[in-house]
Amino acid sequence: MATDRELKEIGHDEFDPVGTLTLITVYFLILVGMWVLTYFVEFLGNGPTVVG
């Protein structure tokens, strides 16, 4: 049996998906970490390199 629920209206900035923000932040940090690892560690650290 369906019960009546109380509906609460919130404003635009009151919507606060902290979980989503945390998840995206973690993805973002992984992305930055992988870029640093592939470019600075694996590529630039992989000398000798073609210089001319």
Residues interacting with another protein, by CB under 8 A?
Answer: 12-13, 15, 17, 20-21, 24, 28, 31-32, 35, 39-40, 43-44, 46-52
Q: How many C-alpha atoms does 46 have within 13 Å on its Cβ side? A: 8
Return the residue matching tokens 């369906």. Answer: 2
Q: How many C-alpha atoms does 15 have within 13 Å on its Cβ side? A: 4
Cβ 9 to another protein shortest distance, Å: 16
Q: What DSSP designation does 44 have?
A: T
Cβ 5 to another protein shortest distance, Å: 25
Q: Which is nearer to another protein, 2 or 18 (CB)?
A: 18
